[in-house]
Amino acid sequence: MRIAIAGSSGLIGSALVESLTGAGHQVLRLVRQPSTAPDQIHWAPDSFGIDPKALDGVGAVVNLCGRGIADHRWSGRVKQEIRDSRIIPTQVLAESVRLAGVPIFVSSSATGFYGDTGSRAVTEKDAAGTGFLADLTTDWEAAALTAAASGSSTRIALIRTAPVLSQSGGLLGKLRPLYRLGLGGRLGNGRQYFPWISLLDAVRVLEFVLTRPLAGPVNMCGPRAVTNAEFTKAFGRAVGRPTVFAVPGVVLSKAVGEMAEEMLLQGQNVVPEVLIDNGFEFRHPTLASALAYALGKAS
């Protein structure tokens, strides 16, 4: 298949490009700078967009765009930049997919769609929650669904991604230095749920969705979310460091602000029902196996 990918230089995107290319697919990378290679397509979401003719013959477009959500404290400006980095490129891609008649559009979203679920398990059938991330993902998915306007037959899959566990960056890249210093510990009361997925399984999910007739939301997460306390203990064991500290919620809120409330002190008990019902087999079905893989201790 000929597959165009936006966000191909990110954690998931770079791994997906490598895997798809190795499987014999022709991958085209959408890049913001002038193209310098035959496998690159120049686009500029904030100005001219993308020439739909560039997508001629493309069987699928994968949208992985978006700046890091946890890179900075959430000021009004940062929150707007987070929104713009996702919604504007998605609108541009959806319109181009529609005009070019691309059969498949796989577009990123996030498990933040569900807001704070407490201990209640949620699946793709559940409605959006409340908060900045829930509102963001709702609008993000709505932008992707415009690819189906005017009777388009494009199959659209909305990938609600959990935090990805990888040795090459992401969440663990931020946590490992703290745990190595013995500063790892639960956050708040530790009862908030944490969905997760290994990088290898994240790539495999995207390939699965590309080759199966799946449409609508797909929770891209491991089979069982864990609590923050469970994750803390498991990661501490994996890196061989104690996890005796606990950071009170009030301290996190004062230090990080709104981002702490939504990303650290709240959580989502997310179940990947669509993947399970369609026979997807996780390479890393447990947090322990995913951490072992992410830390280079298992395949």
pLDDT tens digits for range 269-287: 999 999 999 999 999 999 9
- The answer for residues whose C-beta is within 8 angstroms of residue 292's C-beta and 6 or more apart is 238, 298
Instruction: Report, as an integer, the average pLDDT of 161-187.
Output: 81
Question: What token pair was written down for 175?
Answer: 């946590």
In this prediction, residue 255 carries a pLDDT of 66
The number of helix segments (H) and strand segments (E) in the chain equals: 10, 16
CA distance 49 to 265: 38
Q: With bands split at pLDDT 50, 70 and 90, how would you rate the model's confidence at 138? A: very high
pLDDT digits (tens, 9 = 90+) for 183-239: 778 888 999 999 999 999 999 999 999 999 999 999 999 999 999 999 999 989 988
Instruction: Report, as an integer, the average pLDDT of 148-172.
Output: 89
Instruction: Report, as an integer, the average pLDDT of 137-156.
Output: 93
What is the percent of the chain with per-residue pLDDT over 90, rounded to a whole number? Answer: 73
- The answer for residues whose C-beta is within 8 angstroms of residue 269's C-beta and 6 or more apart is 117, 118, 119, 120, 121, 122, 193, 195, 225
Domains, the chain, with CATH or none: 2-230+253-294 (3.40.50.720)
In this prediction, residue 23 carries a pLDDT of 96
Instruction: Report, as an integer, the average pLDDT of 102-107.
Output: 98
- Cβ atoms of 144 and 86 within 8 Å: the answer is no
Mean pLDDT of the chain, nearest integer: 92
Between 157 and 299, the more confident residue is 157
Q: What's the longest Cα–Cα distance across the chain?
A: 57
Between 205 and 33, the more confident residue is 205
Strand extents, DSSP E, the chain: 2-6, 26-31, 40-42, 60-63, 104-110, 121-122, 155-161, 164-166, 169, 185-187, 193-194, 197-198, 216-220, 226-227, 245-247, 269-270
CA distance 247 to 234: 17
